[in-house]
Structure 1
Amino acid sequence: MFTGVTKQFEYKMRFVYSHFPINLNIIEGGKVVEIRNFLGEKRVRIVKLLPGVVCEKSTNVKDEIALKGTDLELVSRSAALIHQATLVRRKDIRKFLDGIYVSEKGTLEKTD
């Protein structure tokens, strides 16, 4: 039996920032992620998740989101799109560690 059908894949991502807190809004029912105030910039980064992937904010952990879906490749690619949207450019990446990083990968029992 395939793992994605019986269990959902889940990627947990954490926000890392030193001074300017990253604001993340989940819109369109978890299909689009809107990232604001990254490194204090006014630019709004919008990431459209791949089909079949849903994003949720964690209720018990601050600054954490969870990406869930039945296809492992789509879930991991959506996590990569969010990570790539928050790459630090034209600065020393050893000093500026701000971004959204994958903290945990795993499966989730389906509740249907």
Structure 2
Amino acid sequence: MKYVQSVESVAIPEGVTVSIKSRVVKVTGPRGELVKALKHVDVAFEKVNNKLIKLYVHNGDRKHVATLRTVKSLITNLIKGVTVGYKYKMKFVYAHFPINVNVIEKEGSKLIEIRNFLGDKKVREVPIPTGVTCELGQKDELIVTGNSVEDVSQTCADVQQICRVRNKDIRKFLDGIYVSERGHIVEEL
């Protein structure tokens, strides 16, 4: 079944400016600027005023209309990123061998260095993308912060994936580094 016209709208809060040019969304706010290219998505944008953006799909089927909600979520994530930011906390879980984690700079790029995972001699390194900061919290905690939810969550996913237990029963060996808390840098009231 074809839908004649489907519409979603995104509200823009105070202090945030959104500019859309040829399906490249640029959001500027108090915490910085984020750019997202949506050229691959067949959605029409209309900036009604400085407080509202409308998204349209004309004559779309069910899956085409579903992309409308996805685009709306992507834009609201950009707006939330430049206003309050994203903060993920990761906990180190180990039974016997303590996991050592450091944030290092190597050849001009920052890395998360993981040592002694399950007693391995192998040093695991995860690159930190630009715009993301990682710091060690209190005991056995890594705090990953940034404006882009995609970059922050992908960094956490890379850390968790590199510390997977292989060739052992994962019900018994629960060692690893896992996301324990998701939140915002600027706490909302």
**TM-score when scaled to structure 2?**
0.55
Q: Is the 8 A contact 1:17 1:97 kept in 2?
A: yes
CA RMSD of aligned residues (A): 1.7
Q: Does 1:52 align with 2:120?
A: no
> Which residue of 1 is the match for residue 146 of structure 2?
69
CA shift for structure 1 position 37: 0.2
Identify the match of residue 98 of structure 1 among 163, 169, 175: 175
Give the match's secondary structure for 1:33.
strand
Give the match's secondary structure for 1:79.
helix
CA shift for structure 1 position 87: 0.2
CA shift for structure 1 position 31: 2.7
> Which residue of 2 is the match for residue 108 of structure 1?
185
> Which residue of 1 is the match for residue 110 of structure 2?
31
Aligned partners of 1:84 and 1:31: how far apart in 2? Answer: 18
Aligned partners of 1:62 and 1:77: how far apart in 2? Answer: 23
- Gaps spanning 5+ residues in structure 1: where? none
Stretch of structure 1 that moved more, 79-88 or 20-29: 20-29
CA shift for structure 1 position 6: 1.4
Aligned partners of 1:23 and 1:101: how far apart in 2? Answer: 14
Q: Is the 8 A contact 2:102 2:136 kept in 1?
A: no
Q: Is the 8 A contact 1:31 1:53 kept in 2?
A: no
Task: State the 4+ residue runs in structure 1 displaced beyond 6 angstroms.
Answer: none
- Gaps spanning 5+ residues in structure 2: where? 1-12, 14-78
Q: Is the 8 A contact 1:15 1:100 kept in 2?
A: yes
Aligned partners of 1:69 and 1:31: how far apart in 2? Answer: 14
- Name the larger-Rg structure: 2
> Which residue of 1 is the match for residue 85 of structure 2?
8
Give the match's secondary structure for 1:65.
strand
Greater RCO, 1 or 2 (C-alpha within 8 Å, sep 6+)? 1
Q: Does 1:43 align with 2:142?
A: no
Give the match's secondary structure for 1:18.
coil
Aligned partners of 2:113 and 2:127: how far apart in 1? Answer: 9
Give the match's secondary structure for 1:100.
strand
Counterpart amino acid of residue 37 in structure 1: N
Identify the match of residue 97 of structure 2 among 12, 17, 20: 20
